[in-house]
Amino acid sequence: MQNDVQELLKKITRKNVQDLTPYLSARRLGGKGDVWLNANEYPITPKLTVHSDLNRYPECQPLAVITRYAEYAGVNPDEVLVTRGADESIELLLRAFCEPGKDAVMYCPPTYGMYSVSAETFGIQQKIVPSTKDWQLDLEAIASQMADVKLIYVCSPNNPTGNLLHDADLIKLLEMTQDRAIVAIDEAYIEFCLQNNKTAWLKRFPHMVILRTLSKAFALAGLRCGFTLAHRNIIDTLLKVIAPYPLAAPVADMAAQALLPEGIETMKQRVLEIEKNRTYLIEALSHDERVVQIYPSFTNYILVRFKDSAPIFKGLWDSGVILRDQSKQLGLENCIRITIGTEEEMQAVVRVLRSLTVA
């Protein structure tokens, strides 16, 4: 029986899905830890309550969530789409703009893994243009590979490197793509450097899209709630391909609460606390002989290059401190990404690191 199913699946599963390596989320990677610093989550859960009637289908685009996020982001409500995490928006853009076997999507590694996983799932051709040595856009290489590209993902601040893309480069990218492609700027971590947000550019560049999430500074990764900001005609196009009920009613309920003025104030307090803990960790690591470089970060994580990261990663893992290995990513040999957690968690990282006898 088992064999029959295997044979059947081999025959009928789409080729690109057979070849697909699923996104290795922090949860899928496992580990037995007390200190979870591998998914850029906030360490403590907000307390929210549910009031929804569950007998009714939810609104597709819950009004309170849309209007409150629009107010928070400083855009019009018709320029906002709410989705099942920013990850769903990454997919919707592909579904709306890229035809398999015809169009291409572009992104610039090292960067967030879902751009490639989603493209593979849909069977969309990928134009992979590595970023420059200092993790900025390689505009010349981008320009030379624009044929068939309908969609470009850029990430600023970038995951996992933590840096911002230069404004001047983004402007050039937006100018070079006008009338031919969508440029999606992933601002999942923008709350940690809010003054760098690009919403003001939406008026000037109608082909620009901004991705946001409640998973990071809003501390609600488990809620699965993200936002797309764009020209209202782009939002309307995405509404054609979104599921009829993308958000469960309790999710909409809790997202609306998180976006009340006191929720936004709490989020800002979190950002300050994370910055303080980040400063502490950077200072402590800077005295460690095994550290080659700590890269500047505008986010709730830092990327650290070690002389030899494998034994460090494993030593921490075995002691219950779970970090994210980035050493397989393009140009990130011996790099580990460390999410900034509580003060106690940062002290645990430092304590365990000191206890490791590896070089």
Ligand X SMILES: *Cc1c(COP(=O)(O)O)cnc(C)c1O
Nearer to ligand X, 119 or 155 (CB): 155
Which of 307, 311, 305, 353 shows the shortest CA–CA distance to 329?
Answer: 305
With binding defined as CB under 6 A, does residue 213 bind ligand X?
A: yes
Using CB atoms, what's the residue nearest to ligand X?
85
Nearer to ligand X, 221 or 321 (CB): 221
Q: Where are the alpha helices (DSSP H) in the chain?
A: 2-12, 15-18, 26-29, 63-73, 85-97, 114-122, 139-144, 167-177, 232-241, 249-258, 261-285, 309-318, 343-355
Nearer to ligand X, 161 or 309 (CB): 161
Q: d(Cα 18, Cα 165) in Å, to the nearest integer?
A: 35
The 84-103 contact track toward ligand X, x by CB under 6 A, reads -xxx----------------
The 247-276 contact track toward ligand X, x by CB under 6 A, reads ------------------------------
Exposure string over 143-155, b if 16+ CB within 10 A, otherwise e? eeebebbbbbbbb
Taking contact as CB under 6 A, which single stretch among the options 12-20, 83-91, 243-251, 335-343 is the one that binds ligand X?
Answer: 83-91
Nearer to ligand X, 84 or 319 (CB): 84
Taking contact as CB under 6 A, which single stretch among the options 3-11, 79-87, 132-140, 199-207 is the one that binds ligand X?
Answer: 79-87
Residue 243, classified by CB atoms within 10 Å of its CB into exposed (0-12), middle (13-18) or buried (19+), is: exposed
Count of C-beta atoms within a 10 Å radius of residue 43: 20
Q: d(Cα 143, Cα 209) in Å, to the nearest integer?
A: 19
Nearer to ligand X, 111 or 319 (CB): 111
By CB under 6 A, the residues from 161 to 200 that bind ligand X are: 186, 188
For ligand X, the binding residue among 131, 159, 197, 300 (CB under 6 A) is 159
Nearer to ligand X, 62 or 85 (CB): 85
**Shortest reach from residue 211's CB to ligand X, in Å:** 6
Nearer to ligand X, 153 or 205 (CB): 153
Using DSSP, state whether 197 is helix, strand or coil. Answer: coil
**Shortest reach from residue 105's CB to ligand X, in Å:** 15
Q: Are 271 and 242 in contact (CB under 8 A)?
A: no
With binding defined as CB under 6 A, does residue 339 bind ligand X?
A: no
Count of C-beta atoms within a 10 Å radius of residue 135: 21
Supply the DSSP string of 90-115, one letter for each residue: HHHHHHHH--TTT-EEEE-SSS-THH
With binding defined as CB under 6 A, does residue 221 bind ligand X?
A: yes
Q: d(Cα 152, Cα 164) in Å, to the nearest integer?
A: 17
**Shortest reach from residue 187's CB to ligand X, in Å:** 8
With binding defined as CB under 6 A, does residue 155 bind ligand X?
A: yes
Task: Give 184's strand partners.
Answer: 153, 209
For ligand X, the binding residue among 226, 246, 263, 341 (CB under 6 A) is 226
Q: What is the CA radius of gyration of the chain?
A: 21
Which of 337, 195, 346, 358 shows the shortest CA–CA distance to 281?
Answer: 346
Nearer to ligand X, 130 or 320 (CB): 130
Q: How many residues bind ligand X (CB under 6 A)?
A: 13
What token pair was written down for 280? 């502490």
By CB under 6 A, the residues from 18 to 57 that bind ligand X are: 40
Contact footprint for ligand X (CB under 6 A): 40, 85-87, 112, 155, 159, 186, 188, 213, 215, 221, 226
